[in-house]
Amino acid sequence: MKKMDLVFIPAPGSGHLFSAIEFANLLVERDQRLSITILIIKYPKKDNTTKLPSASHSNISFIELPHVEPPPMELLIKSIEKYYTDFIDSHRTCVKDAIVNHVLPNSTKLLGLVVDMFCTSMIDVANELGVLSYLFLTSGAGFLAFLFHLAHRHDLVGREFEESDHESLVPGYSNPVPLNILPDFACNKDGYNSFLNHGRRFKETKGIIVNTFLDLESNVVNSISNYHDVPPVYTAGPLINQKNQNTVQCKNHDEIMKWLDDQPPSSVVFLCFGGFGCFGVPQLKEIALGLERSGYRFLWSIRVASEDKPPKHIENIDHKTILPGGFLERTKGRGLTCGWAPQVEILAHKAVRGFVSHCGWNSIMESLWFGVPILTWPLYAEQRLNAFQMVKELGLAFEFKLDTRRYSDDIVKGDEIAKAVKYLMEEGSEVRKKVKDVSVKSRKALEPGRSSYASVGHWMETMFASN
């Protein structure tokens, strides 16, 4: 059987990489003619020793790209979006070399490049190679709609958002979006220009694949189709790493799962804020006080921020040294703290009832898949917009914080956290019922003949026909 190749170019970061891997798995399982090569752009750290993911299918392979000198740290402080974009752009030559030297010699037919939303400069590589390009969006359709709205608005006003601006009417949203809900880059000239350019370049691709499903975001997906210059949007989700392959190894995995096994059904609140969701010690102390005062059982994945600017996660820190005196002893048996946590396995466990989350899109997909309601505590990127959408637009999450900032000095107090946790865990909520209903719909979306299954099939047929 002749193989036809796709090259995936995900942005660095587990949320981007693992979603791409899940989509690749889905494709090769659907059509054995496909062979997929995933190019790995590593974080801009000279001491980076990240282990390459393992292929779960013989038709999927990985190529680690060589180290490229990162932009100056001053740019990271000025705009993380601009820093990230420039760093990825600097890989264009080695991306092309990897394809020319390692993919094309073994390929019967290169169908195209599937690029991440941060990797739009790789569309130029596709054009140079004479192949098609497609966008794979690890965020939801709501964020995609905002980026297209950004370009439309810029044509009218010609600048980034300012504090004096009014609420923004984003197509597909029934509620005006407040300025303080928008991603940080919306008001940062460098970050704004980076995403403005990304959004415009999305339109050069032959299709946009989004990790979502129609029963969740049909209004937004339909509104995007009203733009005359936007390529077709295909829903492919939820893409869930249910087998926990390629995830960061959790040192106390067995302890966590044993502890959950010993808890009553639907009794635990799980707190986890993603790979970059770290807090300073003062905020961690307040979270501890809130959990203790709530009276509920808890599993808390703790990520401690340094005092650097911007802060970074501190590895291997003793929780006893940063939490209130006696907290771990007083909550022993009722609560458990850990570092990295096997999030998918935890959300799937019968003991877990609620999820305090940063509202990263992958976490939202996982929470809906397993029917575990979220208490919103967004921190960075598009997470505030995700939280707003889940709470105000869809009624699928409990509102706690919608407008928090990762680098803010504002501290959320323990009493407020205790009250919010109780709110999340209470019985008979309408939100909880809606989440359970959407959980069923999320699973059906991937079944043959259903929305996401059919949409991916349509994209594949179009891709093969275009070649």
197: number of CA atoms within 13 Å, CB side?
A: 15
Closest of 58, 81, 60 to residue 71, by C-alpha: 81
pLDDT band at 390 (very low <50, low <70, confident <90, very high): very high
Which one, of 280, 300, 287, 276, lies nearest residue 381 by Cα? 276
Assessment of whether the complete model's pTM goes beyond 0.75: yes
- The CA R_g of the chain, rounded to the nearest whole Å, is 22
Residue position matching structure tokens 């359709």: 141
- Tell me the percentage of the chain whose pLDDT exceeds 70: 93
Distant-in-sequence, close-in-space partners of 332: CB < 8 Å, separation ≥ 6? none
Domains and CATH numbers, the chain: 4-237+445-466 (3.40.50.2000), 253-441 (3.40.50.2000)
Taking only the tens place, the pLDDT of each residue in 1-35 is 567 999 999 999 888 999 999 999 999 999 999 99
Rounded to the nearest integer, the mean pLDDT of the chain is: 92
pLDDT band per the 50, 70, 90 thresholds, residue 163 = confident
Q: Does residue 324 or residue 467 have the better pLDDT?
A: 324
In this structure, is the dihedral angle defined by the CA atoms of residues 355, 359, 363 and 369, taken in order, positive or negative?
Answer: positive
DSSP secondary structure of 356-375? EE---HHHHHHHHHTT-PEE
pLDDT of residue 49: 46
At 32 the three-state DSSP class reads: coil
CA distance 237 to 166: 33
Tell whether the model's pLDDT for residue 139 goes beyond 80. Answer: yes
Q: What is the pLDDT of residues 93-137, one digit of tens each?
A: 999 999 999 999 988 899 999 999 999 999 999 999 999 999 999
Q: What is the DSSP string of 306-317?
A: -SSSS--EEPS-
pLDDT on residue 57? 81
